Amino acid sequence: MKTALWWIRRDLRLSDNQALAEALRQAGTVIPVFLLDPKLLASDYVGPARLAFLFDGLRTLDSKLREQGSRLILREGEPLEVLNTLCLESQAEGIFAEEDYSPYARQRDQKIALTLPLHLLPGITVFPAQMLTKANGEPYTVFTPFSRMWRSLPASGRPLPAPERLPVVPELPSLEIPGTPNQPLDHSFKAGEEQAQKRLNDFIDNGIFEYAMLRNRMDLEGTSQLSSYLRLGMLSARQAFWAARQASDSAKTSKEREGVETWLTELIWREFYTSILYYFPFVRGTAFKADLRSIHWRDDPDGLAAWQTGKTGYPVVDAAMRQLNTSGWMHNRARMITASFLTKDLLIDWREGERYFMQRLLDGDPASNNGGWQWTAGTGTDAAPYFRVFNPILQGQKFDPLGNYVRRWVPELEKVPANYIHSPWIMPIETQKQVGCLVGRDYPTPIVDHAMARKRVLLAYGGRPYDV
Distance CA 230, CA 235 (A): 5
Q: Give the catalytic positions in this structure.
A: 266, 269, 297, 332, 350, 373
Cα distances from 87 to residues 37, 116, 288, 295, 458, in angstroms, run 17, 9, 40, 50, 57
Residue 96: strand, helix, or coil: strand
- The candidate with the shortest Cα–Cα distance to 405, out of 330, 305, 354, is 330
CA distance 359 to 248: 36
One-letter-per-residue 3-state SS of 360-382: HCCCCCHHHHHHHHHHHHCCCCC
CB 379 within 8 A of CB 292: yes
User: Which residue from 399, 420, 365, 313 is spatially nearest to 45, judged by alpha carbons?
Assistant: 365
Q: Which CA distances in Å does 50 have to 46, 66, 358?
A: 7, 24, 9
Is beta strand 29-36 parallel, antiparallel or unpaired with respect to 73-76?
parallel
